[in-house]
Amino acid sequence: MSVKEELRSTVADLVGADPASLADDDNLVVLGLGSLEMMRLVTRWRRAGLKVEFRDLAAVPTISAWSARLEEASA
């Protein structure tokens, strides 16, 4: 599974949506993803060794932007 598809599945679980219904450029905050959930994701990814900042996620809350950031952090 690609980073983008794994992220889409994770976010869909958090907002109670079908992963197929989340477009790459949907605003995840508008879809119901709150700051607490974003902080939990940051914590999870940091524990996995990825350098991710909350402000990066909050600045552009989309699947496309987040997957690019995660791929960059894992390189």
Every domain of the chain and the residues it spans: 3-74
Residue 58 has pLDDT above 90, yes or no: yes
DSSP assignment string, 49-61: T----HHHHHHS-
DSSP state of 21: G
Per-residue tokens: 18? 């079908």
Q: What is the pLDDT of residue 59?
A: 95
Specify the residue for token string 């940091």. Answer: 46
Of 2.40.10.10, 1.10.10.10, 1.10.1200.10, 1.10.3720.10, the CATH number of 3-74 is 1.10.1200.10
pLDDT of residue 54: 95
Model pTM?
A: 0.91
Picking from 18, 47, 23, the residue whose alpha carbon sits closest to that of residue 9 is 18
Please compute the mean of the pLDDT values over residues 26-54 and round it to a whole number: 95
Q: Look at residue 39 and tell me whether its pLDDT is greater than 90.
A: yes
Predicted confidence (pLDDT) per residue in 9-22, tens digit? 999 999 999 999 99
